[in-house]
């Protein structure tokens, strides 16, 4: 009986902790890390601030956990899109997998701009900055696998994958700074009054097409026509 009681207590603790982190992720998605205060998380989760401190000793621990959860979800989606670590990935050319990485990463970022800006660029505490470095390495590992497979296929000739993979990760993040800004239209320039406002879905596709093409060039792939990336 004591064992079952302890097990139930641990399950309750884990569920409450997960609920607090989920509340924090929701707040960050709405207003960035500045919104994920102890009081804000407590209010969103329907508990007292003291309850939050029961699970997280300070705000640093809380924001690190929030970042880890949110960034972990994004990384998992990208890795699934490219078959990271699976034998099945070899059935798809590395060129197409790098294209899929850009589109999976970019489409989710453009759908959830506030969250993406917070995860990628928002000035934050040291705990978040530390987690950012961890996830940048994880993305670099993902790109490294794709480039290594491309080299094995004979599609790439550059052997300094250790330099190119982190360069791609850094460039990919930088490329989305302007498209993610809430005050900037995705399309370059103003819409033609005679045509009307651009189609948002088409504009997103255009942004992803161009960033995917630039990423392929940086990787060293022979560049296919832009229409190949348009799906």
Domains held by the chain: number? 2
Q: Mind listing the pLDDT tens digit for each residue in 104-130?
A: 999 999 999 999 999 999 998 999 999
Q: Looking at the structure, tell me whether residues 14 and 89 fall in a common domain.
A: no
Report the pLDDT value the prediction gives residue 229, as an integer from 0 to 100: 47
The boundaries of the domain holding residue 18 are: 1-56
* 23 burial level (CB within 10 Å; 0-12, 13-18, 19+): buried
For residue 145, being part of any structural domain is answered with: yes
For residue 189, being part of any structural domain is answered with: yes
CA-CA-CA-CA torsion for 208, 77, 24, 6, nearest 10 degrees? 180
Domain with residue 186: its CATH number is: 1.10.357.10
Q: How many CA atoms lie within 13 A of 128 on its CB side?
A: 20
Q: Mind listing the pLDDT tens digit for each residue in 50-91?
A: 999 999 999 999 999 999 999 999 999 999 999 999 999 999
Taking the C-alpha atoms of residue 78 and residue 89, their distance in angstroms, rounded to an integer, is: 13
Task: Decide: 207 and 110 in contact? Cβ < 8 Å.
Answer: yes
For residue 86, being part of any structural domain is answered with: yes
Report the pLDDT value the prediction gives residue 2, as an integer from 0 to 100: 52
Domain with residue 30: its CATH number is: 1.10.10.60
Q: Mind listing the pLDDT tens digit for each residue in 2-40?
A: 566 688 888 889 999 999 999 999 999 999 999 999 999
The whole-model pTM stands at 0.86
């Amino acid at each position: 009986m004591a064992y079952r009681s302890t097990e139930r207590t641990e399950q309750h603790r884990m569920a409450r902790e997960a609920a607090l982190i989920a509340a924090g992720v929701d707040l960050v998605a709405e207003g960035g890390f500045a919104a994920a205060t102890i009081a804000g998380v407590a209010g969103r989760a329907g508990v007292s601030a003291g309850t939050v401190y029961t699970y997280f000793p300070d705000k640093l621990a809380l924001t690190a956990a929030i970042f880890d959860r949110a960034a972990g979800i994004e990384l998992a989606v990208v890795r699934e899109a490219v078959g990271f670590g699976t034998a099945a990935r070899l059935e798809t050319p590395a060129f197409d997998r790098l294209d899929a990485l850009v589109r999976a990463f970019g489409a989710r970022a453009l759908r959830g701009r506030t969250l993406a800006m917070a995860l990628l660029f928002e000035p934050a505490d040291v705990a978040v900055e530390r987690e950012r470095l961890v996830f940048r390495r994880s993305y670099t590992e993902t790109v490294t696998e794709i480039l290594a497979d491309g080299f094995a296929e004979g599609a790439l000739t550059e052997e300094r994958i250790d330099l190119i993979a982190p360069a791609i990760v850094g460039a990919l993040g930088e490329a989305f700074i302007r498209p993610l800004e809430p005050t900037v239209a995705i399309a370059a320039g103003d819409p033609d009054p005679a045509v009307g406002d651009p189609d948002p879905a088409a504009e997103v596709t255009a942004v992803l097409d161009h960033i995917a093409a630039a990423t392929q060039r940086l990787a060293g792939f022979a560049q296919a026509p832009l229409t190949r990336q348009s799906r």
